[in-house]
Amino acid sequence: MTINERQDELIEDFELFDEWESKYEYIIDLGKQFPPLEEQYKTEENIIKGCQSKVWLHAYMQDNKLMFEADSDAIIVRGLVSMLVKVLSGHTPEEIAKSDLYFMERIGLHQHLAQTRSNGLASMLKQMKAYAIAYQAVNN
């Protein structure tokens, strides 16, 4: 599945919910189901500090694809993080670097990306792209 196909799939999932409760219950569920990051990767280097919650991001290359694993100490952020990982992980650095993420806005969750300091999510997305650009440079 391409990055955009994965985004469209998420948008479709969220179309089922017309109330904030069900939408957030789904995000909380995603957060609960998301496999925790192995402790060895919860390093100071991998931490993206938000003002309120912590986000950890671990990146590595596998078969020319850039893979992401991540975690957060807050459950809603964890759910949001799982969506970013689902959309971007497992694609080539080129695809990730030039990707345009529109699903958060379409789902009506863009405020979580805007609050840079409070949840580290925007910084995480920036970091994912930075990894992609860095690995792209290594590959070339």
**Would you please indicate which residues are annotated as catalytic (active-site) residues?**
51
Output the CA–CA distances (angstroms, integers) from residue 133 to 3, 34, 90, 121, in the order listed.
16, 26, 15, 19
15 contributes a contact to other proteins by CB under 8 A: no
List the one residue from 4, 118, 123, 136 that touches other proteins (CB under 8 A).
118
| Span interacting with other proteins, options 1-9, 18-26, 58-66, 122-130, rule CB under 8 A | 18-26
Output the CA–CA distances (angstroms, integers) from residue 1 to 4, 16, 70, 86, 135, in the order listed.
8, 22, 20, 11, 21
CB closer to other proteins, 28 vs 133: 28
Q: How far is the CB of 26 from other proteins (least distance, A)?
A: 11
